[in-house]
Amino acid sequence: MALTLDDIGLLFARHGHTQYTGEPVTQLEHALQSAMLAEREGAAPALIVASLLHDLGHMLETHGEPHDTPTMAGIDDLHQYRILPFLRPLFGDEVLAPIAMHVDAKRYLCATDAAYFSMLSEDSVRSLRLQGGIFDERQAADFIARPHAADAVRLRRWDDLAKREGLATPDYRHFSRYYAQCLRA
- Residues in the site for Fe ion, rule: CB under 5 A? 55, 159
- Measured from the Cβ of residue 105, the count of other Cβ atoms closer than 10 Å reads 25
Nearer to Fe ion, 63 or 123 (CB): 123
Residue nearest to Fe ion (CB): 159
Report, in Å, the least distance between residue 137 CB and Fe ion. Answer: 26
DSSP letters, 54-98, are TTGGGT-EETTEEPP--GGGT----HHHHTHHHHTTTB-HHHHHH
Report, in Å, the least distance between residue 138 CB and Fe ion. Answer: 26
Nearer to Fe ion, 122 or 136 (CB): 122
- 8 A C-beta contact, residue 107 and residue 135: yes
Nearer to Fe ion, 123 or 142 (CB): 123
Identity of the amino acid at 158:
W
Report, in Å, the least distance between residue 165 CB and Fe ion. Answer: 15
Nearer to Fe ion, 29 or 159 (CB): 159
CB neighbour class for 46 (10 Å; exposed up to 12, middle 13-18, buried from 19): buried
1/71 Cα distance (integer angstroms): 26
Report, in Å, the least distance between residue 54 CB and Fe ion. Answer: 6
Q: Which helix (H) or strand (E) holds 124?
A: helix 122-130
Nearer to Fe ion, 55 or 151 (CB): 55
Report, in Å, the least distance between residue 145 CB and Fe ion. Answer: 24
